[in-house]
Structure 1
Amino acid sequence: MPDLSGKRIVLGLTGGIACYKSAELLRRLQDEGATVDVVMTEAATGFITPATMQALSGRPVWTDAWDSRMDNRMAHINLTRGADAVLIVPASTDFLAKLAHGLADDLLATLCVARGAVPLLAAPAMNHEMWTHPATQRNAAQLRADGVTLIGPAEGDQACGETGTGRMMEPDQILRALVAFFQPKVLAGRRVLLTAGPTSEPIDPVRVLTNRSSGRMGYALARAAAEAGATVTLVSGPTALPCPDDVTRIGVTRATDMHAAVMAHAPGADLFIAVAAVADWGIANPSDTKLKKKAGGQPPTLRFVQNPDILADVAALSGGPWCVGFAAETDHLHEHAQAKRQRKGIPLIVGNLAQQVMDAEDAELILFDDDGAHPLPPQPKLQAARQLITWIAQRLPD
């Protein structure tokens, strides 16, 4: 099911060149199942036309507080009744000031004041000098204190040709922030440490020993934990995946590097989820130069050394985090997963069949604890991650 299925969003546009990105955001909101009502300030119509937004939304666009299309001429009241959120994209310097001081001199500003308990989110977009101005910073602080969620701004090149903080977040970032806003905050105040991806053990400067892992499940869990309100640290082996929003990523290569990073952060964590496909063995005698083929086709002799057991070492910490492991097996999943859980001394292990999950977008997880096996339905990895996070949150000690 799309993340915003059944949600009605009031999308407000204020004056700024970033208005053109609101058209893409509108389509993305609809792709995620949202119904979108667009409200534009007069300044916004100088950058993008109401006709464009109406064609994209398939619904009337509202610009005038006195619009006669509503029988009672109370668009400022009617538009937010039954809405799930008001989202201002872009939010200009002037409009942030209006919001902070409760001004109501146009339709969009008035409906924000009259919205009642409907959540308000805003994505600031302005020149970096305008964003860093003391008045704007006071207004932003007041809005946060009033319960308004500010999405960004980002740092980067701006339409004026200057560079700095004030650039509007990209539509996909704003969409993810809105989706995250609606997720239950079941891990609020918790500190979560995760591992993800493979490790890579060097044989020589160009060859490595590794495990097959895309990192998708671990990254999905990091995103789901952040959406659930946790402070998330992700220790990741080499992957091509972007770091999830609001997640601190520590990049590592070898299993020993991952072990060191995890052990440095584990004492401060409430929850540790070991998702990474860590190589059980490293190469004891890696070559400093590229190994060459020998005459007669004899392969090089490699000596293996066992890598540290990251999960077991964290589980053994006195006062350490609540631990969750992963077991990717090729056969006898129930037997191997439960045996691994008991061997590691952890309360929960998540099992799956390797042949089902390698390079797949979906996951079919089975949770193993003292009470037995608890299968989750086959579903996209992000949905599985959210379900797993909820399941864990219900069992975390206080």
Structure 2
Amino acid sequence: MLEGKKIVLGVSGSIAAYKSALLVRLLVKAGAEVQVVMTDDATAFITPLTLSTLSKRPVFVEYYKPETGEWNNHVDLALWADMMIIAPASANTIAKMANGLCDNLLMAVYLSAKCPVYFAPAMDLDMWKHHATQENVIRLKQFGIGIIQPGTGELASGLHGEGRMAEPEEIAEFISTEIKKKLPLKGEKILVTAGPTYEAIDPVRFIGNHSSGKMGFAIADRFAELGANVTLISGPSAQKSKFKIERIDVTSAAEMLEACQLHFADAKACVMSAAVADYTPEIVADKKIKKQEDRFNIDLKKTVDILKTLGSVKHDGQILVGFALETHNEEQNAIGKLQSKNLDLIILNSLNDAGAGFQTDTNKITMIDRELMSTVFELKNKDEVAIDICKKVIELMNA
């Protein structure tokens, strides 16, 4: 859940600041980009060098660097962030947050933040229980600021009770859970196919195509990023998923059909981006065919149309998306496929468009829905194309 997330980590003046080092390490290890902003008091407990080394980014403490006059722009920092975590949040920092005081860079970033903000209190028992602190916490909750509850245990004063900052592992898990709660496809089952199929001629030769699987893998990753439980059925491909995805590897069209039939019924949406062979050898030789004749013929038979098969059993509320890679009569052919196979959406590619098609990092698509509403997109990176496709699928799911 933290993969690719941009996180501003605020560190205020508390003995618990030593835990921030492990927190930074956990967030970075989970794939997040972490920008640390410290108060001046926090530097007495842990050095900026430590947190800079772990985050692989410079740590910001002051509004500007006196030696160069360079400004640490608090607005840019706030806009950059997908979320902001203040850990540890001392009683003093919590009071400033609740009352809009802005006497350091951290508070300037906080007051400029439009992203979700969370704070992990860290202080002694009596400070935490004090009416003023509790009123400030209530006020922050009313602002929509999320609290990561302090734990109970031995405190720096020697007292035992509530007030110690949550452990770094607990904070990282808390943030991951919060992200999951807000994802639009949380818990939805999505089926995606990708890559080519290889139809065997003999033990060493096959009929195939040039599909790399890049588009399908990008779509699967985007769905996973949006919280879906993704099953990816892939033909032979060197691509790897960035997220935790159930991957089923197949080789032939028959194997892909079998896998799709096994998983389609439970899927809320299915995006069939695989380039499945239309024909397969009628007879597969059990030994390597030797080169003897000047001419060699292979009898082919049609493969089962996976997309049409799924379209025939699609239930109400289920979204089925197909792809059409065309060289001529592009829109006419795509619409024919959309209607004959009972699809909700067809993604049209044309090999006449430079930068589109197999083996490229870019794609240019046109989306056509059941009402024959057509949306043309410019040439984009396939990751960006995946965002557009998934956005449209969500719209159809919510319609």
Q: What TM-score range do you get, normalising by the shorter chain?
A: 0.5 to 0.7
Whole-angstrom distance in 2 between the partners of 1:316 and 1:43: 68
- Counterpart position of 1:383: 384
Larger Rg: 2
Letter in 1 for 2:286: D
Letter in 1 for 2:176: L
The 8 Å contact of residues 10 and 37 in structure 2, kept in 1 or not, is answered as yes
Among 333, 336, 341, which residue is 1:339 paired with? Answer: 336
- Counterpart position of 2:36: 37
Compared CA separation, residues 397 and 53, structure 1 to 2 (3 A): closer
Compared CA separation, residues 38 and 77, structure 1 to 2 (3 A): closer
- The alpha-carbon deviation at position 42 of structure 1 amounts to 8.2
The 8 Å contact of residues 271 and 320 in structure 2, kept in 1 or not, is answered as yes
- Counterpart position of 1:155: none
The 8 Å contact of residues 274 and 324 in structure 1, kept in 2 or not, is answered as yes
- The alpha-carbon deviation at position 209 of structure 1 amounts to 1.0
Letter in 1 for 2:372: D
- The alpha-carbon deviation at position 74 of structure 1 amounts to 6.4
- The alpha-carbon deviation at position 259 of structure 1 amounts to 0.3
TM alignment of 1:1-398, pairs within 5 A:
9-10=8-9, 14=19, 29=33, 36-39=35-38, 45=46, 49-50=50-51, 52=53, 56-57=57-58, 59-60=60-61, 80-83=110-113, 84=115, 102-104=121-123, 117=144, 148-150=174-176, 181=179, 185-294=183-292, 297-317=293-313, 319=315, 321-354=318-351, 356-369=356-369, 370-396=371-397
Q: TM-score, normalised by structure 1?
A: 0.66
- The alpha-carbon deviation at position 150 of structure 1 amounts to 3.4
Q: Deviations over 1:80-134 (max 9, x none)?
A: 333435799xxxxxxxxxx5xx5446xxx99xx879645689xxxxxxxxxxxxx
- The alpha-carbon deviation at position 276 of structure 1 amounts to 0.3
Whole-angstrom distance in 2 between the partners of 1:55 and 1:233: 34
Moved more, 7-16 or 318-327: 7-16
The 8 Å contact of residues 308 and 342 in structure 2, kept in 1 or not, is answered as yes
Q: Deviations over 1:298-324 (max 9, x none)?
A: 344322121111111111015263211
The 8 Å contact of residues 202 and 285 in structure 2, kept in 1 or not, is answered as yes
Gapped regions of structure 2 (runs ≥ 5): 12-17, 63-85, 149-165
Compared CA separation, residues 360 and 391, structure 1 to 2 (3 A): same
Whole-angstrom distance in 2 between the partners of 1:79 and 1:231: 35
- The alpha-carbon deviation at position 223 of structure 1 amounts to 1.4
- The alpha-carbon deviation at position 21 of structure 1 amounts to 8.4
The 8 Å contact of residues 23 and 169 in structure 2, kept in 1 or not, is answered as no
Whole-angstrom distance in 2 between the partners of 1:142 and 1:238: 40
- The alpha-carbon deviation at position 394 of structure 1 amounts to 1.4
Root mean square deviation, CA, Å: 4.6
- The alpha-carbon deviation at position 18 of structure 1 amounts to 9.1
The 8 Å contact of residues 8 and 85 in structure 1, kept in 2 or not, is answered as no
3-state SS of paired residue (2:223):
helix
Whole-angstrom distance in 2 between the partners of 1:44 and 1:206: 65
Letter in 2 for 1:301: N
The 8 Å contact of residues 215 and 239 in structure 1, kept in 2 or not, is answered as yes
Number of aligned positions between the proteins: 323
The 8 Å contact of residues 37 and 59 in structure 2, kept in 1 or not, is answered as no
Compared CA separation, residues 20 and 9, structure 1 to 2 (3 A): closer
The 8 Å contact of residues 224 and 385 in structure 1, kept in 2 or not, is answered as yes
Whole-angstrom distance in 2 between the partners of 1:256 and 1:14: 54
Gapped regions of structure 1 (runs ≥ 5): 31-35, 89-98, 122-137, 152-177
3-state SS of paired residue (2:375):
strand
Whole-angstrom distance in 2 between the partners of 1:43 and 1:316: 68
- The alpha-carbon deviation at position 354 of structure 1 amounts to 3.1
- The alpha-carbon deviation at position 364 of structure 1 amounts to 1.0
Q: Deviations over 1:27-62 (max 9, x none)?
A: x849xxxxx334598899589635647993363389
Q: Deviations over 1:210-239 (max 9, x none)?
A: 121111111111112122222211111111
Q: Deviations over 1:358-394 (max 9, x none)?
A: 2221211101122332112221111111122112211
The 8 Å contact of residues 216 and 274 in structure 2, kept in 1 or not, is answered as yes
Compared CA separation, residues 301 and 228, structure 1 to 2 (3 A): same
- Between the aligned residues of both structures, percent identity stands at 25
